[in-house]
Amino acid sequence: MIVRPQPNWFRMLFVWRGSVLPSIIPQMLMMTAFSTLAVFTGGKIFGDKLPLNTSTFTLLGVALAIFLAFRNNASYDRFWEGRKIWGALLIAARALASQAEQYAGRRHGAEGLDRKLLARRVVMLAYALKHQLRKTGPDSDLARLLPPDVGLRLRRAHYLPVQLMHELRAMLALAHRDGELSDARLWACDGQLNELNHCIGACERIASTPIPFPYGVLLHRTVYIYCLLLPFGLVDAIGYATPLISVFVSYTFLALEAIAGEIAEPFGEAANSLPLDAMCLEIERSVLEIVGEEIPEAAKCDKDYRLS
């Protein structure tokens, strides 16, 4: 995702990166060609005049706009739910690291709970979830955050976030058996593990349950049929202005459809997906600071507002 400050009104008119315009340029060119064709043929196809007028497209446009609004609302609901889940993941990760740091009391002569390893496993869980959702390899983060033997063993896991959660619970259970954690404190820490487990499952639910395919197909076909017929309904009313108005109206409908498709997959790597890299880095920085570890630099935005 591109993370940017809010641009002023003038710059907003010319924003390129992060808008959906680059993805619909071919459609815009096609609409320009169809609109020009409608002007030069006088609204005829194969010599026959299409009996279309502006009132027909007004009614259809209103219905299509309402349909697109429902589609965009459904997509944004998925986007916003994904953001809330990752917010809950951040809260649970910080709480678990803090509780383990404060509640686990080392016994005399015993090493006790390895708080730093626990914190790194919590951080790795966030990165592992990101990689699972994006279907990317977690090897670099495993090598960076965990000891070599642990990282090598975890590379074979099919559900890495779940495996890390399981190992976190094993660490806390061992600390409880050794007398470092009381029953009440173990219960408190286990509550954060359950919240992490809920976040993992909720992300998997969104990622594995896309918006029903026929719904998207219906909207896609309707938008394109409307846009392709529009110039033939406008040519008698506005003449040579038909290409300009047709392309502008088509841009609105095609862009709304593109936006809906993009934000419906909140965990992807598109420009307007959730900034999971930045969220994972924020979890890493805050959790490692709790246990006194050196923290990486904060994310920065370059001149084009892309997170780096």
In a domain, 155, yes or no: yes
At residue 158, what are phi and psi to the nearest 5 degrees?
A: -80, -35
pLDDT score recorded for residue 3: 56
Q: Which tokens sit at 175?
A: 């600390």
Per-residue pLDDT tens over the stretch 174-213: 999 988 999 999 999 999 999 999 999 999 999 999 888 8
The number of distinct structural domains making up the chain is 1
pTM across the whole model: 0.87
Per-residue pLDDT tens over the stretch 106-139: 654 346 789 999 999 999 999 999 999 999 999 9
In a domain, 254, yes or no: yes
Q: CB neighbours of 97 closer than 8 A, spacing ≥ 6? A: 115, 118, 119, 122, 287, 290, 291
In a domain, 114, yes or no: yes
Asked if residues 267 and 203 have their Cβ atoms less than 8 Å apart, the reply is: yes
Q: CB neighbours of 130 closer than 8 A, spacing ≥ 6? A: 136, 267, 276, 277, 279, 280
**Domain limits for position 264:** 9-290
* Least confident segment among 18-22, 209-213, 237-241: 18-22
In a domain, 295, yes or no: no
In a domain, 307, yes or no: no
In a domain, 3, yes or no: no
Average pLDDT, the chain: 88
In a domain, 265, yes or no: yes
pLDDT score recorded for residue 9: 67
In a domain, 131, yes or no: yes
Asked if residues 96 and 193 have their Cβ atoms less than 8 Å apart, the reply is: yes
